[in-house]
Amino acid sequence: MSVPCSGHGEAAPLLQGLWERVRAGREEVLLSPYLPALYAFVTHVLLCAPFLALDALGSVCQRVRSWRITAGSGPPPPLRRWVGCFRRVLYRYLTTVLPATALFHTVRSPAVPELAPSCWQLFVEVFACLLLFDTLFFMWHVCMHRFPWLYRNIHQLHHRHHIPFALAAQDSNSGELLSLLLLALSSAWVLGCHPLSEAFFHLINSWLAVEVHCGYDLPLALHRLLPGLGGARCHQAHHTLLSVNYAPYFTHWDLLFGTFCAPVKRSHPE
């Protein structure tokens, strides 16, 4: 009989079975220096797919259009804009992110443990990674806005999307794209996360990045379900005003430093 996960040192049967299936015959893949960049790119593209579908539905469905944050500013981005963005992101991954993260992964020398983390360990490690990454991103993001050279040469490219869409979450200068992935990888490394916890962290991190750039204020968006998250409307305010809402996901750092701008609430049709 399966025993529910409770202790810090015990591997939960559910997670142990999952981890063994992941490990089975794939240790060489798990240790590949190219895995972090490939995982980041593929998860980002796949998580953007639902929002591409929403953009397509928006041309024929009034209810979908009503979820658009900037409903009066025009239609959702056309397919050619998605394709152009995809090509740019792919090019930067192949030319900069993949080789640089491969070198980082080699220096890091990861291992593949036999035991899975407990459910509690996985939760704590993922949450700690999100908090640490949010903090590091906040500091780096503020620097990119406050130092003109950094803004002009690194961050300004991302802000050409005055009204962002999901895939544009990674449509950035190669240096910025690489720096953000390195911040995510370093967060898991510094905290000593289990590889399974790290995989879940990168998955959630990718989803949050996509969601805050998606351009939709969805009824079941995470910021509506979990306290302390800013959501897409907060990040839209950043792309509009530039000097507010620097943190990517949580709101505590912006509230503490006086850079938080609450988005204007609007009602949704029933």
Task: Lowest mean pLDDT of 34-48, 207-221, 248-262, name the range.
Answer: 207-221
Q: What is the mean pLDDT of residues 48-70?
A: 83
| Residue 220 maps to a domain | yes
Name the pTM for this structure.
0.89
Beta bridge pairs of residue 229: 250
From CA 118, how far away is CA 15, in angstroms rounded? 7
Tell whether the model's pLDDT for residue 247 goes beyond 90: yes
Q: Looking at residue 7, what is its pLDDT?
A: 45
pLDDT band at 267 (very low <50, low <70, confident <90, very high): very low
Q: Looking at residue 15, what is its pLDDT?
A: 87
Are 68 and 266 in contact by the 8 Å Cβ rule? The answer is: no
Count of structural domains within the chain? 1
| Residue 267 maps to a domain | no
| Residue 148 maps to a domain | yes
| Residue 104 maps to a domain | yes
Tokens at 220, concatenated: 């079941």
Q: Looking at residue 11, what is its pLDDT?
A: 45
Residue type at 205 in one-letter notation: N
Domain that holds residue 128: 30-110+119-257
Q: How many helices (H) and strands (E) does the chain have?
A: 13, 0
Q: Phi and psi of 229, rounded to 5°?
A: -100, 145
Tokens at 161, concatenated: 């999307």
Q: Looking at residue 195, what is its pLDDT?
A: 93
| Residue 13 maps to a domain | no
Instruction: Decide: helix, strand or coil at residue 250.
Output: strand
| Residue 64 maps to a domain | yes
Sign of the alpha-carbon dihedral angle for 17, 18, 24, 28: negative
| Residue 205 maps to a domain | yes
- Provide, rounded to the nearest whole percent, the portion of the chain with pLDDT above 70: 91
- Listed in sequence order, the residues at least 6 apart from 165 whose beta carbon sits closer than 8 Å to its beta carbon are 51, 55, 76, 77, 81, 82, 85, 213, 214, 215
| Residue 10 maps to a domain | no
Burial 245-257 (b: 16+ CB within 10 A, else e): bbbbbbbebbeee
Tell whether the model's pLDDT for residue 1 goes beyond 50: no
Q: What is the CA radius of gyration of the chain?
A: 19
pLDDT in tens, 121-166: 999 999 999 999 999 999 999 999 999 999 999 999 999 888 888 9
Tell whether the model's pLDDT for residue 190 goes beyond 60: yes
pLDDT in tens, 80-104: 999 999 999 999 999 999 999 999 8
Tell whether the model's pLDDT for residue 51 goes beyond 70: yes
- Listed in sequence order, the residues at least 6 apart from 97 whose beta carbon sits closer than 8 Å to its beta carbon are 37, 40, 41, 174, 177, 178, 181
Beta bridge pairs of residue 68: 216
